């Protein structure tokens, strides 16, 4: 499922490139970071605003739903 999400993340990153940064973390390499943010399954997307987690998406999400959810979050947290 993780590989299935990668193209969707590229689309979201490209669509919102001026307002969003997509970062992929290797949870095997950084288990403490995964634990800190409660990542127990993949894919898990943790959305941050001003350095604080504000939402999370767990499991596979179709591209349209992902873009829609990101758009809503950007609207809510933009200044």
Predicted confidence at residue 2, as pLDDT, reads 78
Predicted confidence at residue 22, as pLDDT, reads 92
pLDDT at 4 over 70: yes
How far is Cα 14 from Cα 7, in angstroms, rounded to an integer?
Answer: 10
pLDDT at 24 over 70: yes
How far is Cα 67 from Cα 62, in angstroms, rounded to an integer?
Answer: 9
What six digits make up the tokens of 65?
A: 């739903």
Give the confidence band of 45 by pLDDT, cuts at 50, 70, 90: very high
pLDDT at 8 over 80: yes
* Domain of 33, in residue numbers: 2-77
How far is Cα 30 from Cα 79, in angstroms, rounded to an integer?
Answer: 32
- CATH code: domain of residue 33: 3.40.30.10
How far is Cα 73 from Cα 54, in angstroms, rounded to an integer?
Answer: 9
Total structural domains in the chain?
Answer: 1
Does the global pTM surpass 0.75?
yes
How far is Cα 25 from Cα 31, in angstroms, rounded to an integer?
Answer: 10
């Amino acid at each position: 499922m993780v590989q299935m999400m990668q193209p969707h993340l590229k689309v979201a990153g490209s669509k919102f490139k001026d307002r969003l940064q997509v970062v992929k973390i290797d949870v095997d390499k950084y288990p403490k970071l995964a634990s800190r943010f409660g990542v127990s399954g993949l894919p898990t997307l943790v959305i941050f605003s001003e350095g604080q987690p504000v939402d999370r998406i767990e499991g596979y999400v179709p591209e349209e739903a992902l873009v829609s959810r990101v758009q809503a979050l950007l609207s809510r947290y933009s200044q």
